[in-house]
Amino acid sequence: MAQDAEETRFQLQKARMLRAAAECFNQKGYSGTSLRDVADVLGLTDAALYYYVRNKEELVYLCYVRAADLGREALDQARADGENGLDVILRYFRYHIEMMVGERGPIAIMSEIPSLKPEHRAEVLELSRKHSLNFEAALEAGIKDGSVAPCNVRLTGNAIMGSINWIPKWFHGDPELAEKMINEFPDILARGL
């Protein structure tokens, strides 16, 4: 029981660290962010971060894996809840944006992939490719069931994912704006579908 409580505490602190790191990386980039910057956001010493990560490269890698995991979670939930292709897509937009601008955000923008060591880069790129293919499959399902207009799913998917994935770059925590984004962005992004 004590082990479970300690593991839960570790996971909560690690999640808090990854949110703080995402905020720093989104604002300053990889080269402009230090472990000290992340520690300052958390009110910790930079030495305390070494309990969770070995170095800055591992920290940005974990941020990217977390971003991919949350995107996958949003799409999986949308698929479970959706009634047709377009409904799945609209729900995915809402769920993913809620994660980005809500309590689970921010999520790191995957703009610093070249800074990762080769094995981490390959894993993150594979996660990103899988997510893109899954989103394209949702578009194809919508085209098949007639709820989405025929389109080039690769180009459409890239345009939409680019819009969603850039949100953490310009969103900085305004709750009123977050609510508008959650309620309005899905319709804005889906208008062309």
* CA distances from residue 144 to 8, 150, 186 in whole angstroms, order as listed: 43, 9, 21
Asked whether 145 and 84 are in contact (CB, 8 A), the reply is: yes
Nearest alpha carbon to residue 91 among 130, 132, 138: 138
pTM: 0.91
Q: Domain limits of the chain?
A: 56-190
Q: In this model, does residue 87 exceed pLDDT 90?
A: yes
pLDDT value for 4 = 80
CB atoms under 10 Å from CB of 44, counted, come to 19
Span 4-20, pLDDT tens digits: 877 788 888 999 999 99
User: pLDDT averaged over the chain?
Assistant: 93
Q: Which fold has domain 56-190?
A: Tetracycline Repressor; domain 2 (1.10.357)
Residue type, 49: L
Yes or no: say if 52 and 110 are a contact pair by the CB < 8 Å rule: no
Residue pLDDT, tens place only, 100-149: 999 999 999 988 899 999 999 999 999 999 999 999 999 999 999 999 99
Token pair 């899988």 is found at 130
